[in-house]
Amino acid sequence: MPFNPPIADWRGKTVWLVGASTGIGQATAHALHAQGAKVFVSARKADALAAFVQGHPGAVALALDVTDPLAVKAAAQSVLAAGPLDVMLYCAGYYKELRATAFDLPEMLKHSEVNYHGALYLIDAVLPAFLARGAGHISLISSVAGYGGLPKSLAYGPTKAALINLAETLYLDLQDSRIGISLVCPGFVETPLTAQNQFAMPALISPAEAAHEILQGWRRGQFEIHFPRRFTLWMKALNLLPYRAYFAAVRKITSL
């Protein structure tokens, strides 16, 4: 039995993708548009959004800084005023390598504002409408980096772990309200964020492949959508180890 109402036919559906100027968000918006959905795309980069809309007739761009709760609320009102919203995908993200030996509080807080607080602002803006309608779907893009502590992920990993816990709790609280909740945990995807990595990224996939996996997960009504499985299953297994073995394995794998 699926966790969520499966979504297979996107014709007539409306999706708001927040963080859609590049990477997974943009690729998912493209895939949804191709399948007949009406897409609202938001991000800070207004020029990138304008270019997307130009190539996707009917799409609507709403430039947005997710760290501004008043701007989020105003954008949500515009989306909801256009008609029922079926899915909100939060894919805004910020990433910079950071280790505890170079602890940087402003960087820690910036990660939290974009990756976690922004999601809270969006949920606050759309959830009342979903509850009133008795329908809707909230999807949060986390990461396998949220499964457990990793070197160089001091700022990024905890925010993604917070999204995992948030999605789990939302599901438990809302499963009787006919509101879908899904959690997306990608491995390495070729995006501007991962381009800064100075190490080999195993099982690296394209944003288009990631978008395909997300739509397949929604079609199946999955709660957690993780990919590519040849990598994510290993990450899941790693986090089943007791801490002594986990820490030893991570240090061996990363050489850090």
Q: Which two tokens stand for residue 229?
A: 């499985």
Band of residue 191 on the pLDDT scale cut at 50, 70, 90 = confident
pLDDT (tens digit per residue) in 52-70: 999 999 999 999 999 999 9
- Residue 140's CB: how many other CB atoms inside 10 A? 24
* Edge-first strand listing for the sheet containing 14-18: 60-63, 38-43, 14-18, 87-90, 137-141, 180-186, 224-227
Q: What is the pLDDT of residue 210?
A: 95
Q: What does DSSP say about strands 38-43 and 137-141: parallel, antiparallel, or unpaired? A: unpaired
Residues near 105 by Cβ (< 8 Å), separated by ≥ 6?
none
Q: What is the pLDDT of residue 192?
A: 77
| pLDDT above 70 for 173 | yes
Residue 20 host element (H or E): none
The model's pLDDT over 66-94, given as tens digits with 9 standing for 90+, comes to 999 999 999 999 999 999 999 999 999 99
Confidence of residue 195 (pLDDT cuts 50, 70, 90): low
Measured N-to-C along each axis, helices 207-220 and 23-34 cross at an angle, to the nearest 10 degrees, of: 60
Joined tokens for residue 24 = 């997974």
pLDDT at 202: 76
For residue 123, the Cα-to-chain-centroid distance in whole angstroms is 13
Provide CB contacts within 8 A for 203, sequence distance 6+.
187, 188, 228, 230, 231
Over the stretch 113-160, which tens digit does the pLDDT of each residue have? Answer: 999 999 999 999 999 999 999 999 999 999 999 999 999 999 999 999
CA distance 20 to 72: 15
Q: What residues pair up with 123 in beta bridges, in sequence order?
A: none
The neighbouring-strand residues paired with 225 are 184
CA-based torsion, 100, 106, 46, 13: positive or negative: positive
Is residue 196's pLDDT more than 80?
Answer: no
**How many beta carbons lie within 10 A of that of residue 165, not counting itself?**
12
Domains and CATH numbers, the chain: 14-254 (3.40.50.720)
Q: Which of 25-39, 123-137, 176-190 has the lowest mean pLDDT?
A: 176-190
Give the list of residues 6+ apart from residue 244 with CB closer than 8 angstroms, or none: none
Q: Which residues contact 202 (CB under 8 A, 6 or more apart)?
A: 187, 188, 231
Distance between the two ends of the chain, CA-based, in angstroms?
42
Residue 193 reports pLDDT greater than 80: no
pLDDT band for 256, please (50, 70, 90 cuts): confident
Above 80 in pLDDT, residue 201?
A: no
Angle between helix 46-55 and helix 23-34 axes, rounded to 10 deg: 20
Measured CA to CA, the distance from residue 126 to residue 86 in angstroms comes to 10
Give the whole-number percent of the chain exceeding pLDDT 70: 98
Q: What does DSSP assign to residue 203?
A: T
Lowest mean pLDDT among 78-87, 192-201, 211-220, 245-254: 192-201
* CB contact at 8 A, 208 and 27: yes
Question: Is the pLDDT assigned to residue 198 strictly greater than 90?
Answer: no
What pTM value is reported for the model? Answer: 0.95
With 0-12 / 13-18 / 19 or more C-beta atoms within 10 angstroms meaning exposed / middle / buried, residue 248 is exposed
Residue 253 pLDDT more than 80? yes
pLDDT score of 185: 97
